[in-house]
Amino acid sequence: MSRTIFAIPGITTRCTSSSKCMKPLRISRERSQVSLHLYQQSNIQNARHASSSSSTRWKTRQASDPYAREAKVQGLKSRAAFKLLQINDKYKIFKRGNTVVDLGYAPGSWSQVAISRTQPNGRVIGVDILPAQPPRGVSTIQGDFLSPEIQAEVRSYVLDPERGRAKRKSIFAEEEDDKNQTTEVGGEAIAEHGYLESERQADLDLTKQKKADGTIKLEEEFSKLELDNMSRKQRDEAAGRVVDVVLSDMSEPWEQTSGFGKRSISDPYIRMMNTSGTPFRDHAGSMDLCTAALSFAFDTLRTDGNFVAKFYQGSEDKLFEKKLKRMFEKVYRDKPEASRKESREGYFVALRRKEVPKKKEVFSE
């Protein structure tokens, strides 16, 4: 009668006598260790192969994608530019001279479209948590948009109508700037602060001074008679509503699980652009970001302004659509041709912001 001493997949050692079992047992353990090592190596190779296959599929898809090829030809940051171009062709989002805030702007393709469609004299301010090279003519603020401090900085930036707009200087003005590059303090010449830091500090100082002097007043501080005697533009400016278009192409950050050695330095935004693979998580995250973007738009978007936001389809998008309809004259759902067919992404396009609704009315459940 035989009995099994040790068994692993593919290897089984048997013996018929207890006195002869020690040697086969030792051999079986050695074989099991070798087999386990080979099994682990096989798993690693399979994982590498899967990662390589995924990378190959991505490259193949990009190579056969007409929008990806055309983006390279036209010098656009990514194929996503064509989504906004198609939306603008259909709904006429932009006008010349508009002030546009692009939330989640990296890598910058939407900002490229916005700056090209608002010239001359338009301005685009991009906000993103990741560092990215801004397109020509676009001003950017790096930081987490969900942070109240960053939102306050964006509002402060757009309140100055001249900031972010192209300026033409004469030869004499340039010579005057060259003379003022240094400042004397205590008899010593010192270099001025960097341009960005000087701009930021000057803006904060000006805002504080205006508040102290009573030049800037909140909308609630005006009497009803004063508001009635103002034009719509004046009422918007009194409330800090000076933005013409708010764009949101934000995606919820998710932890990277693979591909750490690929495209992580040259294109760091790739880690926040892809979906997590869990539809409900992507949908819920997109709804939270859309709500944050709409709240910002309520505070900054002037009457008749427009709003475009990306979302992932799910059970909560109808509730968000109701909020949009309370705040805007027309609300559309769109999926541009440039969006991939397999993608669950969609875009809310809200046109002509209403002046009357209060914030509580818009965001009530």
Residues marked as catalytic: 310
Instruction: Please tell me the distance from the alpha carbon of residue 137 to that of residue 258, in angstroms, as a whole number.
Output: 35
User: Tokens at residue 320, please?
Assistant: 């968000």
Instruction: Please tell me the distance from the alpha carbon of residue 332 to that of residue 92, in angstroms, as a whole number.
Output: 13
Q: What is the DSSP string of 70-94?
A: HHHHHT-S-TTHHHHHHHHHHH---
Peptide bond into 9 cis (omega under 30): no
Burial profile 309-324: b = 16 or more Cβ within 10 angstroms, e = fewer: bbbbbbebbeebeebb
Q: What is the DSSP string of 264-284?
A: SSS-TTHHHHS--S-HHHHHH
Nearest alpha carbon to residue 166 among 195, 136, 187: 136
Contact between residue 246 and residue 305 where contact means Cβ atoms under 8 Å apart: yes
> How are beta strands 3-8 and 11-15 bridged, if at all?
antiparallel
Instruction: Please tell me the distance from the alpha carbon of residue 55 to that of residue 70, in angstroms, as a whole number.
Output: 21
Contact between residue 97 and residue 121 where contact means Cβ atoms under 8 Å apart: yes
Length of the chain equals 365
Instruction: Please tell me the distance from the alpha carbon of residue 82 to that of residue 61, in angstroms, as a whole number.
Output: 17
What's the sign of the alpha-carbon dihedral 14, 20, 22, 28? negative
Nearby residues of 129 by Cβ (< 8 Å), 6 or more positions away: 142, 143, 144, 145, 253, 272
Peptide bond into 135 cis (omega under 30): no
